[in-house]
Amino acid sequence: MILFHADLDNTLIYSYKRNIGSEKKGVEIYEGRTVSYMTPESFRRLKEISRRTLFIPTTTRTEEQYARIDFGIGTPRLALVCNGGVLLKDGTEVKEWYEESLEMIGECRGELARAEEYLQRDRDRSFEVRNIRNLFVFTKSENPQKTAEALTEILDPSKMSVFRTGVKVYALPSALNKGCAVGRLKRRLAGQDKAVQPSSGVLSGADYVIAAGDSEFDLSMAEEADLFFAPDTLAAAQDRGRTEIFRTGEGGVFSDYLLQRVAEIAAERGK
């Protein structure tokens, strides 16, 4: 079985602010308006791929933010949200997974509290400080680079990672990354763990793992995947093995390229 772990924002779906062509399919509604879209090609391809692989959305979004998305394929059998700290099985949280995540980052609670305390005082902060399920914290900053650098200075680098994307700044335990979650799930499926087996059918483990993403949050998945896809805007991905890079200067949309390649790989491996 092929496992296909895909980040969501700017990998499969795009904000209304992003130009992906005039013909686009709305996939997320928030407060009465459509805020995220897919290209028609990607929307069609994902339906095909979901029949030939185990598609696992793998996102930093919270469960509530993830639930707003409608891919037109029903509820994915498995999904990793909160940067891998929470596993959803047929749309329902797997309690054992979350409890294990909390245990994994137990020694980082003091660091998380320190990050939250600093961000509450940060004069550049332009948004509330959110503690996501005691797994990580984030906010928005008018000077995200400055805020991120300050956090990096005060936090233990052996325990914590700091990321910024746009105006958002995140402080996360280093063990709470998508790559770790991909590895955990792969091992659980191989061991036929009933807690993670979807009710829609028993899975036989992973013969091949594909992962894709566009940001630093996603790079750790490259370590666990047989093949990782990224756009060339994620410069760090170009130095990693087993990675296929989408050249943005050649035109097109990353999601279209990604899903076409996944479909080709699924067809080849299915022979």
Q: Is the pLDDT of residue 166 over 80?
A: yes
User: What's the CA gap between 29 and 124, in Å, rounded?
Assistant: 30
Q: The domain containing residue 149 runs over which residues? A: 107-173
The CA radius of gyration of the chain, in Å to the nearest whole number, is 18
User: What's the CA gap between 141 and 45, in Å, rounded?
Assistant: 37
Dig out the tokens for 13 from the structure: 């779906």
Q: Give the end of a domain, one of 145, 173, 201.
A: 173
User: What's the CA gap between 246 and 235, in Å, rounded?
Assistant: 11
pLDDT band at 59 (very low <50, low <70, confident <90, very high): very high
Q: Are residues 95 and 197 in the same domain?
A: yes
Closest C-alpha among 149, 88, 103 to residue 122:
149
User: What's the CA gap between 253 and 39, in Å, rounded?
Assistant: 8
CATH number for the domain spanning 167: value is 3.30.1360
The contacts of residue 233 (CB under 8 Å, 6+ apart) are 214, 248
Q: Is the pLDDT of residue 185 over 80?
A: yes
What residues pair up with 171 in beta bridges, in sequence order? 137, 162
Query: Is-contact 181 84, C-beta < 8 A?
Result: yes
Q: Is the pLDDT of residue 193 over 80?
A: no
The total number of structural domains in the chain stands at: 2
Q: Are residues 52 and 135 in the same domain?
A: no
Q: Are residues 208 and 96 in the same domain?
A: yes
Q: Are residues 156 and 265 in the same domain?
A: no
Q: Are residues 80 and 211 in the same domain?
A: yes
pLDDT band at 205 (very low <50, low <70, confident <90, very high): low
CATH number for the domain spanning 208: value is 3.40.50.1000
Q: Are residues 31 and 159 in the same domain?
A: no
- Name the pTM for this structure: 0.93
* Range scoring the smallest mean pLDDT among 15-24, 78-87, 116-125, 259-268: 15-24
Q: Are residues 6 and 75 in the same domain?
A: yes
Dig out the tokens for 236 from the structure: 């760090």
